[in-house]
Amino acid sequence: MNRRDFLKTTAIAAGAAAPVAAPFIRSAEAQSRAETLLVVTESGPNNVDIHGVGTNRPGYEVSWNCYDRLFTHGKKTLPDGTDSYDRDKYEPELAESWDIGPNSATFKLRKNAKFHDGTPITAKDVKWSFDRAVSVGGFPTFQMKAGSLEKPEQFVAVDDSTFRVDFIRKDALTIPDLGVIVPCVFNSGLVKKNATEKDPWGLEYTKQNTAGGGAFKMTKWTPGTEVVYERNEDWKSGPVPKLKRVIWRMVPSAGNRRALLERGDCDISFDLPNKDFAELRAAGKVKVAATPVGNGIGYIGMNVNKAPFDNVKVRQAVAYAIPYQKIMDAVLFGMGNPLHGGSSNMAAEVAWPQKHGYTTDLVKAKQLLTEAGYPNGFETTLSFDLGFAVLNEPMCILVQESLGQIGIRTTINKVPGSNWRAELLKKEMPLISNFFSGWLDYPEYFFFWCYHGQNAVFNTMSYQSKEMDALIDAARVAAAEGNKAAYEKDVKAFVTKAFEEVPRIPVFQPYLCVAMQPNVSGYRYWFHRQLDYRTLSKA
């Protein structure tokens, strides 16, 4: 059913319910259009539980809109006029107030908050949800660990409306980590009813069903085709959303998604090719928001446990063979910041991302390859996530062409989006094109995920260095203690080491681009790079 058919069906149903005057039908239809948002994207969720195994980024969007967290972030306006979350400002969500002490944080929950089935939300549900997050393993457990949230014993249900987090160490990331997607609150009674001895946390049930109390309810999910949300009219953790219904459709063809936008047959879309976004912005028929993705890089990664990428000179050779400017021109179309061509591979500032010293230099690349013992090059596989092919595919073709000029012969491997996370976790792919951004916009947070030897999830390059681990850990300690000089020294040191040993080659910092109809307002950029329907509205 397309958008027009949907609205027509709604209007007919309303008319069949009772005999009404024609002006009322037109008013009802206009109201229905204003309260229904139609979103089209390339791919959809493979799992609607953020704690699930291999849940992809579209799955994060379901969790964000259907579950509550203790608090949320305030809003700020960027220089281009786009609204963004404010990293440094927290606002109440499920918790109406909190008190942060030296050893713990205590949260007072809203006493009138309920789950979607009407069950009251209590501190026992919060504790069970946090216990689940630190126990299921994989990404959610590592995400909690990123903020020193590691043990069920840290989480205490003091009474029905009071929840406490006990700190196991001083960590500047603990409180920020409570505001990301993972520590969301599940209806523990509902999930327990659907759990089994082999699946004590009910992951199979929540893979396909939501069990939250957030601003929206997922009322339908057809994998690969459509997700439908309905507004939770009884939501108490914030202003009731203006949108009554959201229909999210998967339209694999970028050309079809653009055509739907230009005809006005959908309201909002992202993950179009950057060329389309640039042209849409220039044409002016739809609004285009383009926001640099904080703490994020598009990169070429090399598995350091797989020969020949276990040789640092091979990795440096690849870094000098990347066609950086061609990628910026032919793939990004200005919708991103270049990360090549710095003055050297010494970190120039206390920031991430920042420019490294590699440029496209095929002579130097060939020389390094020869020094590494591969004068005739070698064969390998270059893999990418097919769920985000609009960016990955043209980039991989350009990289394949450039590597071929120094003798590295690549076969491009297109991995279905639903399988991408699982394939990354296997750590078998030798060469990949990928994107990663840290939810918490701090350099040490990104490096904890991507370069720390203890991290088995997003350290996709299997990189191991005790010196790197020590620098990341030291920066976290310095941040917690407020030791600015030590913090800056450690950050510059681990960025420099990453550039020199280059297990992943930063290519660009992308913009998150979103195109929407002129009558759509309230869009806000978020660290998770998905849509927050709670603030959106239509004229």
Per-residue pLDDT of 63-72, as tens digits, reads: 999 999 999 9
pLDDT, greater one: 54 or 259: 259
Instruction: Tell me phi and psi for residue 195, to 5 degrees.
Output: -85, 165
Query: Is residue 272 included in any domain, yes or no?
Result: no
| Number of domains within the chain | 1
pLDDT of residue 259: 97
Binned at pLDDT 50, 70 and 90, residue 3 comes out as very low
| Torsion angles phi and psi, residue 39, rounded to 5 | -110, 135
CA distance 131 to 152: 5
Query: What amino acid is encoded at 236 in this protein?
Result: K
If we measure between CA atoms, which residue out of 250, 295, 247 comes closest to residue 270? 250
Residue ranges making up the domain that contains 313: 296-510
Model pLDDT for residues 480-532, shown as the tens digit of each residue: 999 999 999 999 999 999 999 999 999 999 999 999 999 999 999 999 999 99
Whether 231 shows a pLDDT value over 70: the answer reads: yes
- pLDDT tens digits for range 299-358: 999 999 999 999 999 999 999 999 999 999 999 998 999 999 999 999 999 999 999 999
Q: What is the mean pLDDT of residues 442-464?
A: 90
Question: What CA–CA distance (Å, rounded) separates 513 from 506?
Answer: 20
Tell me: pLDDT of 159 over 60. yes
pLDDT of residue 417: 87
Query: Rounded to an integer, what distance in angstroms lies between the CA atom of residue 102 and that of residue 169?
Result: 10
Share above pLDDT 70 across residues of the chain, in percent, rounded to a whole number? 94
- Residue 282 CB partners (closer than 8 Å, separation 6+): none
In terms of C-beta distances under 8 Å and separation of at least 24 residues, what long-range contacts does 169-174 make, across chains too? 169/480, 170/477, 170/480, 170/481, 171/147, 171/476, 171/480, 172/442, 172/476, 172/479, 172/480, 173/146, 173/147, 173/148, 173/440, 173/442, 173/444, 173/445, 173/476, 173/479, 174/105, 174/147, 174/148, 174/149
The verdict on residue 263 lying in a domain is no
Contact residues for 160 (Cβ-Cβ < 8 A; gap 6+): 109, 111, 120, 122, 123, 124
Least confident range of 18-32, 91-105, 259-273, 390-404: 18-32
Domain-located, residue 515: no
Residue 270: predicted pLDDT: 86
| Cis omega (within 30 of 0) for bond into 308 | yes
Is residue 151 included in any domain, yes or no?
Answer: no
Given a cut of 80, is residue 51 above it in pLDDT? yes
User: CB within 8 A of 329, min separation 6: which ones?
Assistant: none
The residue type at 155: F
Q: Report the distance separating Cα 2 and Cα 525, nearest Å.
A: 27
Does the residue 486 lie in any domain? yes
For 289, the 3-state DSSP assignment is strand
Q: What contacts 20, CB < 8 A, 6 or more positions away?
A: 14
d(CA 114, CA 144) in angstroms, rounded, equals 25
Residue 535: C-alpha distances to residues 44, 45, 113, 217, 538 (Å): 21, 21, 20, 16, 10
Cis peptide preceding 375, ω within 30 of 0: no
Backbone angles phi, psi at 10, to 5 degrees: -60, -45
Determine the Cα–Cα distance for residues 303 and 430; give it in Å rounded to an integer.
5
The neighbouring-strand residues paired with 378 are 408
Q: Is pLDDT of 440 > 70? A: yes
| 302 found inside a domain | yes
What's residue 28's pLDDT? 47
Give the CA dihedral 496, 500, 503, 507, nearest 10 degrees: 70
CATH number assigned to the domain comprising residue 376: 3.10.105.10
For residue 476, is it within any domain? yes
Those residues whose C-beta lies under 8 Å from the C-beta of residue 382, and which sit 6 or more positions away, are 396, 399, 400, 403, 410, 411, 412, 413, 431, 432, 433
Question: How many CA within 13 A on the CB side of residue 496?
Answer: 15
Q: What's residue 425's pLDDT?
A: 87
For the record, the structure tokens of 86 come out as 């404010």
Which ranges of 405-465 does DSSP label H, i.e. alpha helix?
Answer: 417-426, 443-450
- Taking all residues of the chain, what is their mean pLDDT, rounded to a whole number? 93
> Residue 350: what pLDDT?
97
Helix axes 484-501, 443-450, angle to 10 degrees: 40
- Which residues neighbour 466 within 8 Å (Cβ) at sequence distance 6 or greater? 453
Which SS3 state, helix, strand or coil, does residue 504 take? strand
Considering the domain boundaries, does residue 171 fall inside one?
no
Phi, psi of 325 (to 5 degrees): -70, -35
* Single pTM value for the model: 0.87
Residue 26 pLDDT > 90 = no
Dist CA 235 CA 114 (whole Å)? 7
- Give the pLDDT score at 526: 97
Express each pLDDT in 346-386 by its tens digit: 999 999 999 999 999 999 999 999 999 999 999 999 999 99
> Any alpha helices (H) in 284-338, and if so which ranges?
312-321, 324-327
pLDDT 10s digits, 79-119: 989 999 999 999 999 999 999 999 999 999 999 999 999 99
Residue 30: per-residue pLDDT = 55
Judged against a pLDDT cut of 70, whether residue 27 lies above it is answered with no
